[in-house]
Amino acid sequence: MEIKIRGLKKHFFSEGKLIKALDGVNLDIKANKIFTLLGPSGCGKTTLLRCIVGLETPDEGEIQIGNTIVWSKDKKIYVPTEKRELGMVFQTYAIWPHMDVFNNVAYPLQNMKLPKDDIARRVAKVLDFVQLSGFEKRPSTRLSGGQQQRVALARALVAEPKVILFDEPLSNLDAKLREETRKELKTFLGELNITAVYVTHDRVEALALSDIIGVMNAGNIVEQGSPTKIYFDADHRFVADFIGRANIIPAKIYSQAGPYTEVDTPIGRFSCQKRSFDAKDELMLCIRPEFISFESPDNKGDEGDNLNRVTGQIKQMIFVGEVFETEIRIGDTGLMAKLDPETKYKEGDKLVLAVKPGHCLLVSK
Ligand SMILES: Nc1ncnc2c1ncn2[C@@H]1O[C@H](COP(=O)(O)OP(=O)(O)OP(=O)(O)O)[C@@H](O)[C@H]1O
Ligand SMILES: [Mg+2]
């Protein structure tokens, strides 16, 4: 089911201060896709999710799920949570420690007062789906974190909702388990044909899981798009910076006449991916560390290859396993780059950095 949000506002007062948790959010979430709300702590992700679920009453705006308006201030519509046909999985597992796996998962159906054999059949089906068949009698406290989260997922799915909402469901798991559970979740959701709204402040999780990412900041959706669009082609500095590590350097337009937009920066002139700007616009050049390659200082470069080249010196190399995270100084500017773990370069070496224009992204300041 599709979700439409129009002009949604939610303000809180805390210690005499007004907090605009949602500041007029407009959003269309497509049916049967995984939509992720990504943003820094306090930007309003949980508030937005709670408004969709009906656990929070907005101040203004409208929320529509499928063909039903579930909340509208102007039309005076309020559909209670239990009638919105949603499933929800929270950050804390929120499974009941005093119940076994079966009863945890059966709970929503028992609440609906379904016949016993109906409940047994549906619980068996969903436990099979999350690969927990055989765990029915296990006390829920005697499960691993990942298994507990799967119980929570099973419980959210057992009533066969059309929409499932997740609020940082993996953040309590350790890094390795988080990665495994993320993969499982992607597979589950892919098989289900369900609309999923997923909240996280973890950019890798967002990139790995989502069909569409909506990046939030200060109560607004700043930009939305596919993971590759958001990563490679962000329109906003905030988004480019938030979604991955980036070198962000002030830039002034030199020329927009050719196939590239040419800019002047403190580290020299760069040809960049074409984007039209006003000549007076204050811009930032954004280059991700992984798109900087290296040539030896005596390489004059092929004039026809359009690569941007600058000479720098390695200030620091930090070994993190798959790469050396490397800081390179060019005059007063420091750039982050990545060097192969088997590189022959060492701290203090001079080298030529090369970046394709397609990987030089200009965003407004
Ligand atoms: N009940 C409340 N009373 C007062 N302020 C609140 C309340 N709930 C949320 N806020 C404030 O609203 C803003 C948005 O909070 P929200 O929980 O939606 O952020 P979030 O994006 O989910 O953050 P996190 O990533 O830390 O979970 C924050 O400034 C928060 O302090
Ligand atoms: Mg939150």
Q: Where along the chain do its domains lie?
A: 3-238, 245-296+303-364
| pLDDT-wise least confident of 141-155, 168-182, 290-304, 349-363 | 290-304
- Residue pLDDT, tens place only, 18-58: 999 999 999 999 999 999 999 999 999 999 999 999 999 99
C-alpha to C-alpha distance for 209 and 101, rounded to whole angstroms:
26
Residue 42 beta carbon below 6 angstroms from any ligand 1 atom = yes
pLDDT confidence band for 281 (50 / 70 / 90): confident
- pLDDT of 190 reads 84
- Residue pLDDT, tens place only, 230-270: 999 999 999 999 998 999 999 999 999 989 999 999 999 99
Residue 21 beta carbon below 6 angstroms from any ligand 1 atom = yes
Distance 155 CA to ligand 2 centre (A): 21
Atom of ligand 1 nearest to the CA of 22: 14
- Ligand nearest the Cα of residue 44 is 1
For residues 353-363, give the mean pLDDT: 94
Per the structure block, which two tokens stand in for 105?
Answer: 């998962």
Residue 46 beta carbon below 6 angstroms from any ligand 1 atom = yes
Q: Is the pLDDT of residue 171 over 90?
A: no
- pLDDT of 300 reads 61
Residue 14 beta carbon below 6 angstroms from any ligand 1 atom = yes
- Residue pLDDT, tens place only, 81-91: 888 989 888 77
**What residue owns the CA closest to ligand 1's atom 27?**
41
The answer to whether 330 and 244 have CB atoms below 8 angstroms apart is no
CATH for 3-238, options being 3.40.50.1820, 3.40.50.300, 1.10.238.10, 3.30.420.40: 3.40.50.300
Residue 41 beta carbon below 6 angstroms from any ligand 1 atom = yes
Residue 19 beta carbon below 6 angstroms from any ligand 1 atom = yes
Residue 43 beta carbon below 6 angstroms from any ligand 1 atom = yes
CATH class of the domain whose range is 245-296+303-364: mainly beta
Distance 46 CA to ligand 2 centre (A): 4
First-to-last C-alpha distance (Å) of the chain: 37
Sign of CA dihedral 263, 307, 224, 334: negative
Question: Which of residues 150 and 231 earns the better pLDDT score?
Answer: 231
The answer to whether 194 and 163 have CB atoms below 8 angstroms apart is yes
Residue 44 beta carbon below 6 angstroms from any ligand 1 atom = yes
Distance 15 CA to ligand 1 centre (A): 14
To the nearest whole number, what is the mean pLDDT of the chain? 91
pTM of the predicted model as reported, rounded to 2 decimal places = 0.87
- pLDDT of 92 reads 66
- Angle of helix 145-157 versus helix 116-129 axis, rounded to 10: 130
**What residue owns the CA closest to ligand 1's atom 1?**
12
pLDDT confidence band for 185 (50 / 70 / 90): confident
At 124, the amino acid letter reads A
C-alpha to C-alpha distance for 240 and 26, rounded to whole angstroms:
21
Asked if domains 3-238 and 245-296+303-364 share a fold, the reply is no
Q: Is the pLDDT of residue 126 over 70?
A: yes
Sign of CA dihedral 136, 138, 142, 144: negative
Distances (CA, A) of 190 to 33, 34, 169: 8, 9, 17
pLDDT confidence band for 302 (50 / 70 / 90): low
pLDDT confidence band for 187 (50 / 70 / 90): confident
